[in-house]
Amino acid sequence: MMPESFNASVFLVDRQVEAGRGDHVAVTGPAGAPSSLTYAQLAARVAELAAGLRELGVRPEERVLLVMSDRPETVVTILAVMRMGAVAVPVSTMYNGAELAALFRDARGRVVVATSEFAPAVREALRTAPDVTTLVMTDSAEADPAGPDPGVRVRRWAEVLEAGRGAVAAHGPGAAAAYDSWRDSPALWLYTSGTTGAPKAAMHRHGAIRDVCETYGDQVLGIRPGDRCFSVARLFFAYGLGNSLFFPLAAGATAILDPARPTPAGVIARVAVDRPTLFFAGPTFYAALLALGAPDDAFRSVRLAVSAGEALPAEIYRRFTERFGVDIIDGLGSTEALHIFISNRPGQVRQGSSGTVVPGYEARLLDDLGAPVPDGQPGHLYVRGDSIATGYWCRTAATRQVFQGEWLRTGDTYTRDPDGFYRCLGRSNDLIKAGGIWVSPMEVEARLLEHTSVGECAVVAYIDPDGLEKPVACVVPAAGSAVDAAELVAFCRDGLASFKRPREVLIVDELPKTATGKIQRVVVRQLAADLLGKRQASA
């Protein structure tokens, strides 16, 4: 028996039109811009672009990479790719050309869709990404973002859309029909450093999208058609993708999109004009909003705020809720699980905890030998649920390490209170989560070691006074060299995505090591904390 047909794009958009909500605004861009789309308009645009992608030669289950800011065209593109049976791969817009090229080569996609602000990085990436044959640009301002490479053809997003309209006119509505995908058909890849370092693609099914909407979206957020969602996390994050696409569209609500790089002042301005009812950010951004000096009624339209990406310190929760009068529900999710699987609930927040297990998921804590640990004792967190990815693309060893039967090893160390609330103790390995984004210490160390003044280095996590995790570099100068801390930070920013840069560079005489010569990272973390603590005390 063939599996039952299910297409996530149809579930998110066509279903709302069929339910009579075609005139309701689905997505909107900055206030005053002619970029809002009703559900009926969105459904038509998605179907036309899907047909246009077919005309372009995109095939079912083929990867289509997106380097796009948050705008209605991005939502249309993700949905159109899934509608025609291909695999949408939104990638970080924070990456430089070399980092994008590595992802392009890994995904082996032939088509890249980009917005014009990322044209320089895309241009650089295409020089060393031989599988890419077509670049689709959403903005006509860039003459030829592919550069001198004759092997890459450039198409305009509007041209692809028009080709889809032409196909429908010539061949009838069947040209824009949704592909006969199944719940287990591939729909989406999301790149993550996750629990094992190097970026790799977590592969998600069409059915997983409905799963997160029916679990976290319905049963925790309680999202409804009258809600307006605004997310600081961008669409290329699993967190942002749920906030700005899956949850609002599945509920018939409205997603507020902003292509600009999020800043506290910019976000406050958007909230004042667009009046969201649901607001999503991470702890680092909530701390920045508190530091901004925004008016106490800045979030008067917001009925609920959500935090994820890293544990929300109790002090930030207390200060934000007392000042702005808006409750924050903190939760734990992962790219591999597609969204949040442990969360506090509206009106039922336990400060300093990640909350309780979201309906539809199970969690357990195990020791190093795989045995369950009692309540109150630390253990490695495992979770299972229908939204878990099928694995990592072409990463067999990492897949076997992280995806263990029905269970996902999250890489986090937690304790569980007797009444079911989970508390984060940190990562089970050395990866750093800065501002909700994974940073591999080895990658930053490799960049630092390219500088002639660096002899040895170790990058570790430092918990700042607000309880937030930041990457810090401890550097041993090369013989005869002097280290300039500011210069090294700038050096990292130039060679890596900005979020990976160390926030501080500490100069040390030597790094603590084991008898076999391995760096003792636990000792380095304590050394960094001591040095920064003394610096703050004397400031």
Helix axes 157-171, 39-56, angle to 10 degrees: 90
Percentage of the chain exceeding pLDDT 90: 75
Q: Which residue in the block uniquely carries the two structure tokens 């997003």?
A: 157
Question: Is 363 part of any domain?
Answer: yes
Instruction: Name the E strands within 208-320.
Output: 228-231, 254-256, 278-281, 304-307
Q: 458 and 481 share a domain? A: yes
- Residue 196 above 60 pLDDT? no
- Residue 47 above 60 pLDDT? yes
Kindly state the average pLDDT of the residues 11-40.
90
Q: What is the pLDDT of residues 149-179, one digit of tens each?
A: 668 999 999 999 999 999 988 888 888 899 9
- Residue 520 above 90 pLDDT? no
Boundary (domain end) residue, out of 372, 400, 427: 427
Q: 441 and 403 share a domain? A: no
Domain count, the chain: 3
Residues 358 and 329: beta-carbon distance below 8 Å:
no
**What local confidence, expressed as pLDDT, does residue 146 receive?**
47
Phi, psi at 348, each rounded to 5°: -135, 55
The Cα diameter of the chain in Å comes to 75
Query: What is the reported pTM?
Result: 0.88
**Closest to 345 measured CA to CA, from 334, 331, 333:** 331
Question: CA-CA distances (angstroms) from residue 354 to 329, 340, 427?
Answer: 8, 10, 14
Q: What is the pLDDT of residues 322-351, one digit of tens each?
A: 999 999 999 999 999 999 999 999 999 999
Q: 159 and 236 share a domain? A: no
- Residue 533 above 70 pLDDT? yes
Query: Would you state the structure tokens that stand for residue 184, as one six-digit string?
Result: 């287990």
Query: Would you state the structure tokens that stand for residue 141, as one six-digit string?
Result: 């301002």
Q: Which residue in the block uniquely carries the two structure tokens 């190097």?
A: 198
Separation of CA 376 from chain center: 31
Question: Is 174 part of any domain?
Answer: yes
Positive or negative, the Cα torsion across 185, 188, 191, 195? negative
**Closest to 334 measured CA to CA, from 469, 442, 424, 229:** 424
Q: 103 and 248 share a domain? A: no
Q: What is the pLDDT of residues 103-152, one digit of tens each?
A: 999 999 999 999 999 999 999 999 999 999 999 999 754 445 445 466 89
Question: Is 313 part of any domain?
Answer: yes
Question: Is 7 part of any domain?
Answer: no
Percentage of the chain exceeding pLDDT 70: 95
**What local confidence, expressed as pLDDT, does residue 195 receive?**
47
Instruction: Name the E strands within 232-291.
Output: 254-256, 278-281
The one-character DSSP state at 445 is H
Domain containing residue 524: CATH number:
3.30.300.30
The pLDDT confidence band at residue 364, using thresholds 50, 70 and 90, is: very high
Q: 415 and 463 share a domain? A: no
Question: Is 392 part of any domain?
Answer: yes
The pLDDT confidence band at residue 430, using thresholds 50, 70 and 90, is: confident
Positive or negative, the Cα torsion across 22, 26, 29, 32? positive
Question: Is 476 part of any domain?
Answer: yes
Mean residue pLDDT of the chain comes to: 92
Q: 128 and 221 share a domain? A: no
**Closest to 201 measured CA to CA, from 245, 236, 241, 235:** 236
**What local confidence, expressed as pLDDT, does residue 516 receive?**
59
Residues 46 and 15: beta-carbon distance below 8 Å:
no
Q: 216 and 126 share a domain? A: no
Boundary (domain end) residue, out of 427, 458, 474: 427
Question: Is 33 part of any domain?
Answer: no
Q: 222 and 98 share a domain? A: no
Contacts of 12 (CB under 8 A, 6+ apart): 79, 209, 245, 246, 249, 250
**What local confidence, expressed as pLDDT, does residue 365 receive?**
98
Helix axes 264-274, 283-292, angle to 10 degrees: 90
Q: 290 and 332 share a domain? A: yes
CA distance 378 to 55: 54
Domain containing residue 71: CATH number:
3.40.50.980
Q: Which domain holds residue 210?
A: 205-427
CA distance 107 to 471: 28
Higher pLDDT, 58 or 30: 58
**What local confidence, expressed as pLDDT, does residue 515 receive?**
58
**What local confidence, expressed as pLDDT, does residue 144 receive?**
52
Domain containing residue 213: CATH number:
3.40.50.12780
Q: What is the pLDDT of residues 251-269, one digit of tens each?
A: 999 999 999 999 999 999 9
Boundary (domain end) residue, out of 182, 214, 244: 182
Q: 372 and 452 share a domain? A: no
Question: Is 36 part of any domain?
Answer: no
Q: 383 and 236 share a domain? A: yes
Q: 210 and 175 share a domain? A: no
